[in-house]
Amino acid sequence: MLRIVVLGAAAGGGVPQWNCGCAVCRAARTDHPEIRNSQASVAVSADGEHWFLINASPDLRYQVTRTPQLHPKPGALRHSPIAGVILTNGEIDAVAGLLSMREGSPFTLYAHERVLAILKSNSIFNVLNAENVKRRPIEVERAFEPALPDGAPSGLEVLPFEVPGKGAWYLEGKAHPAGNDGAGDTLGLRVLDKASGKYFYFLAACARVTDDLKSRLAGAALVFFDGTVWRDDELIAAGLGNKTGQGMGHISMSGDHGAIESLAGLDIGRKVFLHINNSNPALLHGSDERKTAEQAGWHIPADGMEITL
């Protein structure tokens, strides 16, 4: 059985974002604490005992604290059920939480060599002692089975694949530590339970839905999908910034080539938006945007949402 916990549902900055006075952030601070969300990450387990994180958000410490499945087992002085972290990109949102895992528990870090190169070029990540925290390069279209700290198989099979997207924004205009072709900077994952054969997809960043991607996702029991913005010019229209969703490598939920339309009719069991930016009106309960998404069969999750497959 696959057990999944949404540790964080929000995009970078979270909801509310510390310096944001937009309508959603104001509502989250005042009358609607139910829409407060931490930054995107998911935990997954095949046995209910050992867990793998997909991305380590800057809110990781808070997320672990509020998730009983990730607490040290009773009676152990030092222990963590977190057996590994799988990184889908090298953005701050995905890697900063690693710095909250520096207290000496062994786990394995799985990432594309481009992402590992970003970590290697930042000396602050040396705080994760290489003896305790093994780095394992992952490759596009090559499935792997994450291992438990003692080397035993986890029962999971993870298939990374390339997603239309863009590189880490803080590297824009700079030479990439691992070369500059952009490959491997944004990965999607298929995570499969080897015992049952059930699987889900994780795509927290995706710039557009290609025909290849549609055929990949068709028939999946569960898809977590990029829900950063409702409309492409949302940040500009709200006066919050000068970037479009596309400019940040994120598809919009709505619109002609948006996620809702692009993934319609693909026979996906459960469609869950993830990485939802605080500017996105679909976060507000009762908003027209949320109703539209829900009527199209999408879930707008909150932190702590649990799913079993």
Residues that bind Zn ion (CB under 5 A): 20, 22, 25, 278
Q: Are 27 and 284 in contact (CB under 8 A)?
A: yes
Q: Do 128 and 84 meet the contact criterion of CB atoms below 8 Å apart?
A: no
Kindly give the residue spans of alpha helices, DSSP state H, lying in the chain: 23-29, 60-65, 92-95, 113-121, 211-217, 234-237, 259-262, 288-295
Query: Cβ–Cβ contacts within 10 Å for residue 190, how many?
Result: 19
Neighbouring CB atoms inside 10 A of 251's CB total 27
Looking at the Cβ atoms of 219 and 241, the one nearer to Zn ion is: 241
Using the minimum distance from each CB to Zn ion, give the nearer residue, 22 or 94.
22
How far is Cα 126 from Cα 143, in angstroms, rounded to an integer? 27
If the CB atoms of residues 99 and 238 are measured against Zn ion, the closer one turns out to be 238
Phi then psi for residue 277, to 5 deg, are -75, 150
Q: Least Å distance between CB 274 and Zn ion?
A: 18
Q: Shortest Cβ distance from residue 207 to Zn ion (Å)?
A: 22
Nearer to Zn ion, 25 or 60 (CB): 25
**Residue 75 or residue 286: which is nearer to Zn ion going by CB?**
286
What is the identity of the amino acid at 42? V
Residue that is written with structure tokens 């809110």 in the block? 59
Cβ at position 170, least distance to Zn ion in Å = 21
Residue closer to Zn ion (CB basis): 2 or 20: 20
What's the CA gap between 123 and 126, in Å, rounded? Answer: 5
Shortest CB 230 distance to Zn ion, Å: 13
Closest separation between CB of residue 18 and Zn ion, Å?
A: 10
Q: How far is the CB of 35 from Zn ion (least distance, A)?
A: 11
Greatest Cα pair distance, the chain, in angstroms, is: 55
Q: Which is nearer to Zn ion, 22 or 95 (CB)?
A: 22
Whole-angstrom Cα distance, residue 257 to residue 40? 23
> In 3-state terms, what secondary structure has residue 70?
helix
Smallest gap from Cβ 59 to Zn ion, in A, equals 16
Q: Which amino acid is at 74?
A: P
